């Protein structure tokens, strides 16, 4: 029997009672930010529910974590509190529970139409790390830049590769992305190019949100890593390929990445994703003991990228991929991140890197889809090698259950022109 809510939920909704993702919102422009969960076309205001005394369990009864402008305090409480909150909310919103269903005043105050709210970055992000965890993406990048002799460097199969990103430029879905300026490869004997990026790209990623974290010098065991991951969001780690190509030797990405990263507003918990767990790919050679899991799993999350070209109404699907294309799991990524004693904190996030599949239609960025501009795409009558000003990119992610779906909503961003007054 499929669990039902008294709140009407359309069959194609991303937010049934089986999901209940967490976010932060303003019910109106003059209100303070507060936590909420998505249910159908509504946001349930957790500050209202908390003030009504409905969270009366062991971990949340005396907590003010839902009277905060972000979710960090709630994340710090850990998995027992997360599960208590989820169970309480599923019961509260179920079709046969009268507490909220039959209380007209409380219901009107607590359930806010989603199209009336402003969604915000749901966490205070202290640090952000980006991994390189898809074998297909790694291989394609190697083929493009190094050729077929050595497309994937030997270390990649032993160590989850990553770099530290810029947390301050992570923005919420719907925020415009200003085309970055920077240096590119010189032509012949000329000076390096300087100006707006000529190879602006999207990257189809997801990001894990860190829960309690760990103390400095205290690594997290691989088989306990899931207890430190609250959930996942969609993430577009925009990339200026020309700037990145010129700058990345010898220290890696910098200005080609740090100008903007977009995340979706709703964090889907690992508990909501558990019914969609699948076996992760077999790793060959076997991972080192500190990365070897008792149960190695990914999630069956269908991912899609669409582009609406500037001046056009038609949106074109350019990529269909899946989270299960990751070679290195999110738990391996987290365990590796801490193995040297690095301390992760509540609200930190780490991206998976571009999630590409084995087929051309599953490649997760324009660098791969157009083979670095050599094979432009046709989008509704126009061609694109890389993104043009005014183009909008839309990510979606969804898990299909029996009689319901668990989704992430959308992660969108439109390219704005580079400022003209910079030299």
From CA 344, how far away is CA 96, in angstroms rounded?
41
Checking if the pLDDT of 422 tops 70, the result is no
> How far apart (Å, rounded) are the C-alpha atoms in residues 394 and 293?
34
Tell me, what's the pLDDT at 334? 98
- By the 10 Å C-beta count (0-12 exposed, 13-18 middle, 19+ buried), 151 is classed as middle
The Cα 268–Cα 352 span in angstroms is 15
92-142 pLDDT tens trace:
999 999 999 999 999 999 999 999 999 999 999 999 999 999 999 999 999
**Residue 421 confidence (pLDDT) above 60:** no
Give the Cα separation of 132 and 254 in Å (integer): 15
Catalytic residue, candidates 14, 136, 137, 336: 137
Closest C-alpha among 361, 359, 415 to residue 390: 415
User: What is the total residue count of the chain?
Assistant: 423
Alpha carbon of residue 184 to chain centroid: 28
Task: Respond yes or no: is residue 137 known to be catalytic.
Answer: yes
pLDDT digits (tens, 9 = 90+) for 17-41: 999 999 999 999 999 999 999 999 9
- The more confident residue out of 331 and 1 is 331
Quick: pLDDT tens for 58-87: 999 999 999 999 999 999 999 999 999 999
Percent of the chain with pLDDT strictly greater than 70: 99
- Whether the CB-CB separation of 57 and 88 falls below 8 Å is answered with yes
pLDDT confidence band for 380 (50 / 70 / 90): confident
- Rounded Cα distance, 212 and 338, in Å: 13
User: 150: pLDDT confidence band, cut at 50, 70 and 90?
Assistant: confident
Buried b (16+ CB within 10 A) or exposed e, 62-73: ebebbebebbbb
Q: Which domains does the chain have, with CATH numbers?
A: 22-120 (2.30.30.230), 128-416 (3.90.850.10)
């Amino acid at each position: 029997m499929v669990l039902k809510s008294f709140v009407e939920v359309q069959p194609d909704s991303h937010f049934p009672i089986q999901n209940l993702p967490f976010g932060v919102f303003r019910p109106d422009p003059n209100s303070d930010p507060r936590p909420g969960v998505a249910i159908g076309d509504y946001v349930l205001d957790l500050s209202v529910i908390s003030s009504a005394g409905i969270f009366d369990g062991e971990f949340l009864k005396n907590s003010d974590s839902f009277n905060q402008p972000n979710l960090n305090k709630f994340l710090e409480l850990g998995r027992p509190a997360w599960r208590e909150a989820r169970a309480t909310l599923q019961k509260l919103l179920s079709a046969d529970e009268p507490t909220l269903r039959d209380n007209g005043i409380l219901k009107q105050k607590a359930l806010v139409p989603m199209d009336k709210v402003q969604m915000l970055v749901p966490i205070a992000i202290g640090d952000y790390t980006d991994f390189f965890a898809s074998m297909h993406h790694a291989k394609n990048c190697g083929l493009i830049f190094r050729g077929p002799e050595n497309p994937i460097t030997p270390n990649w199969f032993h160590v989850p590769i990553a770099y530290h990103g810029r947390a301050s430029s992570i923005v919420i879905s719907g925020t415009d992305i200003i085309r970055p300026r920077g240096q590119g490869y010189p032509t012949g004997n000329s000076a390096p190019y300087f100006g707006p990026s000529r190879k602006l790209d999207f990257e189809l990623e997801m990001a894990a949100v860190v829960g309690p974290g760990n103390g400095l010098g205290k690594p997290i065991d691989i088989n306990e890593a899931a207890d430190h991951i609250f959930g996942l969001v969609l993430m577009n780690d925009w990339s200026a390929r020309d700037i990145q190509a010129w700058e990345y030797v010898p220290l890696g990405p910098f200005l080609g990445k740090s100008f903007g990263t977009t995340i979706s507003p709703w964090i889907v918990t690992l508990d909501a994703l558990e019914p969609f767990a699948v076996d992760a790919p077999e790793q060959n050679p076997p991972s080192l003991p500190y990365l070897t899991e008792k149960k190695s799993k990914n999630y069956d999350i269908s991912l899609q990228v669409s582009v609406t070209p500037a001046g056009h109404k038609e949106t074109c699907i350019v990529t269909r991929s899946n989270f299960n294309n990751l070679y290195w799991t999110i738990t391996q990524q987290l365990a590796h991140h801490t193995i040297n004693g690095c301390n992760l904190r509540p609200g930190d996030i780490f991206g998976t890197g571009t999630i590409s599949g084995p087929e051309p239609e599953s490649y997760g960025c324009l660098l791969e889809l157009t083979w670095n501009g050599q094979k432009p795409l046709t989008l509704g009558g126009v061609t694109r090698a890389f993104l043009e000003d005014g183009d909008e990119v839309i990510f979606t992610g969804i898990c299909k259950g029996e009689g319901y779906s668990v989704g992430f909503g959308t992660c969108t961003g439109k390219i704005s022109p580079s400022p003209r007054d910079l030299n």
